Chain A
């Protein structure tokens, strides 16, 4: 079965500091990986995705993620966060033979002044 582990349930940071949200997945075959963001009381929105090719993926709002096959990780980074980045971030995976996305349990990013 495919699974996703988001190691941190909550990450508090100060505004303009860098941040990394960690995501590890389990799969013995190639996968597609996604990061979604959920702002308070809203639906999910795609930040970025890895399908193939370059392992460094750039997304919206200055976020980027690096796919590391050997470590089965897809960590999300931003060099300088804003208050408006406060939200829940979900990592998701889908692999061959699976019909649906599997989401991690989410990481709440709390940005304070």
Chain B
């Protein structure tokens, strides 16, 4: 059973389109995250949710909107896609609240390519 799953694994789309990436965790964790990994492998936090409540919102354009329908799911919707949005997006979860000492479990990633 996959602990943290993401769909789709690959996403190729044109500039200006709107797309969503879905994430689900079956670990019973309270906190979920979205990270962006750029072409140089640099990993940066975008958002964090704890029990469906937005905890962290780093300086991310308003075109990115996370949605957490329940604590097992955290989806990422991106409006008006730009070339610079091309990256690998990782979902992760942890037992404790953001900022704790708990291990984060990562999904396999979604490679987004904007043409």
A interface residues with partner B (beta carbon < 8 Å): 32, 34, 36, 38, 41-46, 49, 51, 88, 90, 94, 98-101, 103, 105-106, 108
Cα–Cα distance between A101 and B44 once the two chains are bound (Å): 9
Shortest 9 CB-CB contacts between residues of A and residues of B: A43-B106, A44-B106, A99-B99, A103-B43, A100-B45, A106-B41, A46-B103, A32-B101, A43-B108
Q: Nearest Cβ in chain B — how far from A83, in angstroms?
A: 21
Give the residue name and chain of the A residue nearest to B6 (CB).
A43
A80 to B60, CA, bound (A): 42
> Which of A42, A46, A105 is within 8 Å of B104, CB to CB?
A46
- Closest chain-B Cβ to A108's Cβ sits at a distance in Å of 8
Q: What is the number of contacts between chain A and chain B, taking CB atoms within 8 Å?
A: 55
Q: Does B55 make an interface contact (CB < 8 A)?
A: yes
For the complex, give the distance between the alpha carbons of A98 and B92 in Å.
Answer: 18
Q: A51-B101, A101-B104 are in contact. Are A44 and B45 (CB under 8 A)?
A: no
Given A41-B108, A51-B101, A100-B48, 18 more pairs with CB closer than 8 A: A32-B101, A34-B103, A36-B106, A38-B41, A43-B92, A44-B92, A49-B103, A88-B41, A99-B48, A99-B98, A99-B99, A100-B98, A100-B99, A103-B42, A105-B40, A105-B41, A105-B42, A108-B41
Interface of A is mostly: strand
A37 CB, min distance to chain B CBs, angstroms: 11
